[in-house]
Each structure stands twice: as C-alpha cells, then as structure tokens.
Structure 1
Amino acid sequence: MISSFRGVRVLAATLAVSLPFVLSACGGDDTSAMDTSAAPDCPTTPVNVVVSVDQWGNIVSQLGGACAEVTTVLAGSAVDPHDYEPAPSDAADFEGAQLVVLNGGHYDEWAAKLAATSAADAPVVNAVELSGGHAEQGQEHAGEDGHGHAEEGQEHAGEQGQELGDEGNPHVWYNPTAVTEFAEAVTAQLGKLSPDAAGYFAERHAEFAESMKPYDEVIAAIKAGATGRTYAATESVFGDMATALGLVDRTPQGYQVAAANESDPSPADLDAFLQLLADRGVDVLIYNTQTEGSVPEQIRSAAEQAGIAVVDVTETLPSDAKSFQDWQVAQLDSLAKALDVRT
C-alpha cells in the first residue's frame, strides 16, 4: 500500500490512461527526436520487442525503427509500476516476444514474472543490471549489514534502523551512463536477433547518439557551472542525474530513509526539511510533480516562501514530450536556469 507520503503516486493528470500500445517507426506516432521520415525500410522481418515501461520504450522504438515492433506495456501510465497488477492481456503481449526490455531493480517485477512465464526463451535487457545493480556514487543504498549507507560523503542512514532498497535507486533512466549502456545493449541484442538488419540497427544507434548531443551538452554545461551546488528533493527519482551533475544532496537523511521506504517522515524529519528550506540551506528543490499528498505540497510551499527555486521533474514521459531526449533536456534546461548556468 502506498503511503500518504508518496501520495497515490498518481502520474500527472495530463498523462494517458494505462493501456498497452505499440510504437513503430512505421506508425503515425511522433515519439522520436530522430528524423524517421527518410529512414530506409526494414530489410527483413521486424523483431518483436516487449518493454515494461515507457521511459525505456521510447528509446527502444528509436533504436529499432522500422525493424522493431515495440510493445510498451505501461506507457504514459497513471499506475505506479511498482504496484501494477498485470491483466491477462499483458501476459499475451509477452507471448512471442523475441526481446524483453525491463527496468529492473524491483521497479517492474510484474514484467519480469510475465517474461519468465510467457517469453522464457527471449533474451532480456535489464537496465538496472546494466548499470551495476546499485545506485551511482552519492546515492544511498543498503549495505551488507542491512542498514542504509551512503557513499562519497553522503551521511550514513543506518542509525535510523531502516533499510533502503537492496537495488539502490531504480530510476536509472536518470543515469546518463546507464542510458548510454542501455542503448548499446539493445542495439547489440537487436543485431543478434536479426543479423540481416544489423547494419540498419547500427545506423539507428548512430542517429540516436547524434540526437542525444543536446542532452549531453546541457549535462556538461551544468556540471561545469554548478558542481558543488546543493539541492534537496521530495523523492529520489532525480538522484542519479543530480550525482552526474556534481550536485550535493542535502535532503535530511531521516526524510530520505522514509522516502525510500515509502512511509511518512516523522514530524522531526519533516521539520528538519522545512527548517533547511527556511534557512535557505539549498540552492534548489527538486520536486516530482507526479505525486500527490500534503507532505510534498508542504515542502514545495516552504521552498517557494523561502525564495528557493523549485525544479519540476517527472517519473515518466509527459504526454507532450516527443521523445526521451526532449523530456530530459527540458527538465535540465529548467535546472540550469534555476542555477543560473548558461547552456
């Protein structure tokens, strides 16, 4: 059960209702920053790919082009992937899949189970496993002693007596290195499954890398101009990106533990967060807009009253985002503006 702290984790009301759908470069949906209008036809039969969530489904569609029929189970979802209860139709989607793409890290275990039963012979690309199965440096994770701890100067959370997820931060689509590794792994698997289209997939990957240049450039600009600047966050969703940007997380550790355990923070932990903001102890507040609840709303209000810039982020692609790249660059541009960094 999702706590009131996380609200109902509803994804913004502008997003579509959760329904499986198919993305294909041959279709009419404009889901890619890459120009597919001049892309050659697939030289062979397209590969059947099933993806659990749209954060990765959009990228897979770009990489696969006309040579991949991509079914994304949760696309523009109003349902928390952690708690999604698959329907029989979802199991049917996995039947016949030649490639399965998962986020991993307990984020979409329902999809892993469906893949194991309905697509047992299909290779699996697991984004969390590709990233090492743990949060990047600076993110809290569970140690062997079962208590959360932090690397690279983050405060130890073990004294709180609560565990953080044993996979670390599962939101690895916010990890730039993980995104690069993911694209390479998907391209490699597609080429293995369809050797006659290997050259096509290599070209699509090259085009994808080119389309990611604005993303890479804004990351480099923020890192160069804002390393060491501070932030607090209502959730950990943006954590890997913040680490990659060189930002310092000053979210009170008790609040972080509560967030990781999807529980309400104690009054003392909430007060610590509110005092941090009142004292202007951070440069920005990272706010996940795809949640509801009095706690995050109270935190946002405190930041605004203190004159601290609030940077909105989302967990999934907004309905008006044409691509993963557009989504990420728009958020990073907002962060750069909040930190007064020229991009």
Structure 2
Amino acid sequence: MTRKSLIVVALAAASVLALAGCAGGATAPDDDTLQVVASTSVYGQIAEEIGGDAVSVTSIVSSLSQDPHSYEASARDQLAVQRADLIIENGGGYDSFLDALIEASGSAAPVITAAEFSHDWPENAGHDEAEATGDHDHDHVGHEHVEGFNEHVWYDPHAMTHLAEAIAADLTELRPEDAAQFEANLAEFESGIAGLESELTAIAAAHAGEGAFVTEPVPVYLVAAAGLVDRTPAAFSEAVEEGQDVAPATLLEALAIIDSGEVAVLIANAQTGGAETTQTIDAAEAAGVPVVEFTETLPDGTTYIEWMQDNIHALAAALDS
C-alpha cells in the first residue's frame, strides 16, 4: 500500500470518530456563508479578499512553523474539506496532503489549482495570455509533481491575478446574488496587484540583468519579475528545498558565484536553513552582498498584497544599498 493510500485509509477511519464528536472541537457551520478551504493561508487570505463576508475560509496550513511539503492532515481537516463549497490548492506537488483529503472525504466541491495559472505550467507553454489563463475548469489535473516546474507560484503576482479571477468566477456561480460584491472585491485586489507590478517594473528599470542568489527556489518568480537573473546552481537550491545535503562540488560552485561579483543580492528562506545555507549567507556578507530573507508562508496579520509589498521593498532596498 502506498503512503498516500495509507493516509486516505487513516483519514477515513479518523473521520468516523470526528463525526461522532471527537474532531478537536470542529463543528458544523452555523451560518449561510460559502465554505472555502485553502491548502495554505496565502490562498485563504486571497479568498477572504474576494469573498468578503459571503465566505468563511479555513486555511489548513496557517502558521509559519508548518511546512506544506510535510504537513500531516487531521480528521478536523477532512471535516472542513467535506463541508467545503470551494477548495483552493497550490498544486504541482506542493500540497499533496489536500489531494488525499479530497479523495478520503469524497468531496465534489470545485477545486481551483493555482499552479495552472503560471505561464511555466507545462500545458500553458506556447500559449498566449488568454489561452494560458482563460480556460478555467475543475478537472483537478494540476496536483501532481511536475519535474522542473517551480511550484511556488504565489510569488508571481501576475498569476495571482488570474487565481483571484477564478475565485471570483466560482463564488459567483455558487452565490449569484453576491456577484456585485465579488466583482468589486476583485477589482480592488487587482488594483493592489497592479501596484506590485509597477514597483517590480521600477526595480527592473534600475537593475535589469543583475544577479540574484536564492537559497531555495521560493522567490524565483518575483526575482524574474524584477528583471534579475537567477545565478544559483539548480542543484544547490533543489538540494536545500528537498532537505538533502548539497554536494561539495555544488557548494564550491555556489560560493565561487557569490564571490565573483555577479551576485547583487542573496535571498534566503527565513523558515528553513542548514549548514550550506549558512555558508552562502556568510560568504555573501563577507563579499559585501546584501542578504534579505523571505518567508514561504503568509506572516500572521498580513494580507497577501502587504506581504508582497514588504518583500518587494526589502529587495529594492537591498539592491539600492
């Protein structure tokens, strides 16, 4: 039996207890709001922005201390999925725990997969803007890991515009009487995204072609939107992301790149680290390369737009230092 099958069986058994009142306090919704379940608080917060008071959002991974890659779902999570009117996942293998929950619960709720709005998604290759982002369906094909695809698509503000559009469209289908509210909220969110893209364009105008070193591939979409060139050896960032040791030759290559003068900024993941990451940070500081830290999940009390603004401002300040 595969690990995923074991998870499904375990969740199915646990849900029996949960439905009998042993789900850690989970209770059925007592209002008529649409129930939205998101794999992480990043997507949950965007859903709240679009849905307003017409939705109740449950974000399964909602803490900076939780890792979506290794999250162990609970019976309480399964109950949330069972009751969901709409489900939002990242896809691309990032949050596979949600696929197990959907399978175990038998949920028929529509699923929006953020990865499918990336121009780097394999099925979008070679398509223009409308073709790559305008054909939203619910066949749930984007959850599997795709070799070579960077699944951290929430760091691409442009892709999040199209995700928000899909959320608004699905909420409108579920609750037509609130369509005007969803449309107005979407317009406000898109205005915020436009502001982010304007700031990224300004960075690109001043720093296009300069190098960036990222300890993990989390912020690569944002780095590209800022006109920077990712100088990180792929083998380095992939090993760090997978929690594996970096090969000595790869580490030496990374340190040489940092010391070469080709790197204008080093971006580290504030939520993870290791000996090799520490060595690259030390090397950057020794070489006078500014270091900034980004988080992988949404900080508490912050909206998606505010979070990305903080990241962009930190990047601009580092490059201008």
Question: Residues 313, 260 of structure 1: CA spacing in aligned structure 2 closer, same or farther, 3 A cutoff?
Answer: closer
- C-alpha separation between the residues in 1 aligned to 2:26 and 2:307? 20
The 8 Å contact of residues 52 and 72 in structure 1, kept in 2 or not, is answered as yes
Amino acid at match of 2:236: Y
- Counterpart of 1:326, as a letter, is E
Residue-by-residue CA offset, 1:84-128 (whole Å, 9 max, x unaligned): 111111111112211001011111111122123325210000001
Q: Contact between 2:201 and 2:225, CA under 8 Å: does it hold in 1?
A: no
2:60 corresponds to which residue?
73
- Equivalences for 1:239-250 in 2 at 5 Å? 239-250=220-231
**Which runs of structure 2 are paired with 1:170-249 in the superposition (5 Å)?**
170-249=151-230
Partner of 2:93: 106
Which residue matches 1:60? 47
Q: Deviations over 1:147-176 (max 9, x none)?
A: xxxxxxxxxxxxxxxxx9526111100112
Q: 1:211 to 1:119 in 2, by over 3 A?
A: farther
**Corresponding residue for 1:308?**
289
Whole-Å Cα distance in 1 between the matches of residues 45 and 87 of structure 2? 14
Contact preservation (8 Å) 1:20, 1:72: no
Question: In 2, distance between residues paired with 1:47 and 1:62?
Answer: 14
Q: Counterparts of 2:50 and 2:296 in 1: how far apart (Å)? A: 21
After TM superposition, the runs of 4+ consecutive aligned structure 1 residues lying more than 4 A away are 19-22
2:6 match: none
* Inter-partner Cα distance in structure 2 for 1:261 and 1:83: 11
Report if aligned partners of 2:268, 2:294 keep a CA contact under 8 Å in 1: yes
Aligned-partner Cα distance in 1 for 2:218–2:26: 25
Measured in 2, the distance between the counterparts of 1:48 and 1:177 equals: 26
Tell me, which stretches of 5 or more residues in structure 1 are unaligned? Answer: 1-18, 23-43, 138-163
Distance, in Å, in 2 between the alignment partners of 1:77 and 1:255 is: 23
| TM-score normalized by the length of structure 1 | 0.74
Q: How far apart, CA to CA, are the structure 1 residues paired with 2:26 and 2:116?
A: 25
Partners in 2 of 1:263 and 1:305 — Cα distance?
25
Counterpart residue type for residue 328 of structure 1: M
- Structure 1, residues 130-157: CA drift from partner, whole Å, max 9, x if none? 32563899xxxxxxxxxxxxxxxxxxxx
Q: Which has the higher helix share?
A: 2
Q: What amino acid maps onto 2:203 in structure 1?
A: I
Where 1:274 maps in the other structure, the secondary structure is helix
The one of 102, 107, 117 aligned to 1:115: 102
**Secondary structure of the structure 2 residue equivalent to 1:198:** helix
Aligned-residue Cα RMSD (Å) equals 2.6
**Using a 3 Å threshold, how does the CA distance of structure 1 residues 121 and 95 change in structure 2: closer, same or farther?**
same
Contact persistence 1:254–1:269 (CA under 8 A): yes
Write the mapping of 1:247-326 to structure 2, written as runs, cut at 5 A: 247-259=228-240, 261-319=242-300, 321-326=301-306
Sort the Cα spacing of 1:166 and 1:244 in 2 relative to 1 into closer, same or farther, 3 A.
same
Change beyond 3 A, Cα 1:316–1:66? same
Residue ranges of structure 2 left out of the alignment (5+ in a row): 1-23, 125-144
Q: How many residues matched?
A: 275
Instruction: Give the superposition deviation at 1:316.
Output: 0.8
TM-score by length of 2: 0.79
Q: Deviations over 1:52-111 (max 9, x none)?
A: 101111111111100111111111241211111111111111122110010111111111
Residue equivalent to 1:86? 73
Q: Give, in whole Å, the separation in 1 of the partners of 2:110 and 2:148.
A: 21
SS at match of 1:166: coil
Equivalent residue number for residue 154 of structure 1: none
Q: How many Å apart are 1:266 and its aligned residue?
A: 0.8
Residue of structure 2 in register with 1:328 after alignment: 308
| Distance (whole Å) between structure 2 residues aligned to residue 93 and residue 264 of structure 1 | 37
Q: Is the 8 A contact 2:64 2:298 kept in 1?
A: no
Measured in 2, the distance between the counterparts of 1:104 and 1:83 equals 14
Offset of residue 279 of structure 1: 2.6
Letter in 1 for 2:93: H
Q: 1:257 to 1:81 in 2, by over 3 A?
A: closer
Contact 2:266/2:289 (8 A) holds in 1: yes
Displacement of 1:129 in angstroms is: 1.9
Say whether 1:97 aligns with 2:84: yes
CA distance in 2 between counterparts of 1:333 and 1:21 reads 39
The alpha carbon displacement at 1:258 in A equals: 2.7
2:221 maps to a residue whose letter is: D
SS in 2 for 1:242: helix
